[in-house]
């Protein structure tokens, strides 16, 4: 498997294969972003050197592709008119597997006993920032952001399923950490308030409502219909 949900590396029959060269990782990362399509050679050069490729860029790129073929198999990278295409099975890239599992989890949202394990399996694929040390570089930055946004959405869906399964005592701590790390993700707050309420921790639930109001005020909002509804439920609880 080619892994990009963390430092770029490979997993084979003998275990993890570390790709020692930063430039080699950049070429492989560029091929993964364009998987299923031919990636122009100049695009891969941009992945490695940005806007300042050396005069030897063409020869160097050919050398990197040759080394990747030694690691992956000659037929895995196909050459097409000054372009290269990564040809692998659907389960050969962790990011592709992650997105498939997330889609299945979304489709199973009304069945939390199916949804939650799918989310769990998807999140287990993550080892760190997508593309490792390349995450903040172009052209990896936008794709890394997109994948990380999907990771956070998977966390939300997983915790929602846990609450639906009655595991509020187990997930309240995770939700408290989530709102601290992602204070502007309203969904985490709503789930935390629901979890606290179900655990009969109404004072803490109301405190969380007040904290969310403060967060919303920072972005110019007074409240939301969902927050008003949750506050009413807490105040009217027997």
pLDDT tens digits for range 57-103: 999 999 999 999 999 999 999 998 899 999 999 899 999 999 999 99
Choose the final residue of a domain: 86, 102, 123: 86
Please give the structure tokens belonging to residue 61.
């790129």
Choose the final residue of a domain: 28, 60, 86: 86
Which CATH number goes with the domain that contains 184? 1.25.40.10
Choose the final residue of a domain: 61, 86, 111: 86
**Domain total in the chain:** 2
Burial class, 218, CB count within 10 angstroms (exposed 0-12 / middle 13-18 / buried 19+): exposed
Mean of the pLDDT values across residues 131-151? 96
Residue 136 lies in a domain: no
What is the model's pTM?
0.93
Mean of the pLDDT values across residues 212-219? 94
Domain that residue 228 falls in:
167-238
Mean of the pLDDT values across residues 224-238? 89
Percent of the chain with pLDDT over 70: 100
Residue 151: pLDDT band (50, 70, 90) is: very high
The answer to whether 69 and 77 are in contact (CB under 8 A) is: yes
Residue 133 lies in a domain: no
Which CATH number goes with the domain that contains 17? 1.10.10.10
C-alpha to C-alpha distance for 139 and 145, rounded to whole angstroms: 11
Residue 109: the pLDDT is 97
pLDDT digits (tens, 9 = 90+) for 1-44: 999 999 999 998 889 999 989 999 999 999 999 998 999 999 99
C-alpha to C-alpha distance for 127 and 121, rounded to whole angstroms: 13
Mean of the pLDDT values across residues 111-120? 98
Residue 216 lies in a domain: yes
Element (H, E) at 10: strand 9-12
Mean of the pLDDT values across residues 161-170? 94
Residue 238: the pLDDT is 62
Residue 99 lies in a domain: no
Residue 204: the pLDDT is 97
């Amino acid at each position: 498997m080619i892994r990009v949900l963390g430092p770029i590396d490979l997993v084979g029959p003998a275990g993890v294969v570390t790709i020692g060269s930063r430039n080699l990782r950049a070429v492989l990362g560029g091929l993964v972003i364009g998987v299923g399509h031919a990636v122009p050679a100049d695009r891969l050069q941009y992945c490695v050197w940005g806007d300042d490729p050396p005069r030897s860029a063409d020869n160097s790129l050919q050398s990197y592709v040759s080394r990747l073929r030694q690691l992956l198999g000659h037929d895995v990278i196909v050459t097409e008119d000054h372009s290269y295409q990564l040809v692998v099975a659907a389960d050969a890239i962790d990011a592709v597997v992650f997105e498939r599992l997330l889609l299945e989890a979304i489709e199973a949202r009304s069945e939390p006993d199916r949804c939650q394990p799918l989310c769990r399996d998807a999140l287990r694929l993550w080892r760190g920032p997508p593309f490792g040390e390349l995450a903040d570089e172009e052209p990896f930055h936008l794709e890394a952001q997109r994948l990380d946004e999907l990771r956070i959405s998977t966390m939300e869906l997983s915790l929602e399923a846990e609450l639906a399964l009655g595991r509020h005592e187990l997930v309240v701590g995770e939700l408290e950490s989530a709102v601290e790390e992602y204070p502007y993700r309203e969904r985490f707050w709503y789930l935390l308030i629901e979890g606290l309420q179900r655990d009969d921790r109404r004072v803490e639930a109301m405190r969380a409502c007040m904290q969310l109001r403060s967060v919303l005020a920072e972005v110019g909002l007074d409240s939301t219909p969902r927050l008003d509804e949750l506050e009413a439920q807490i105040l009217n609880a027997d």
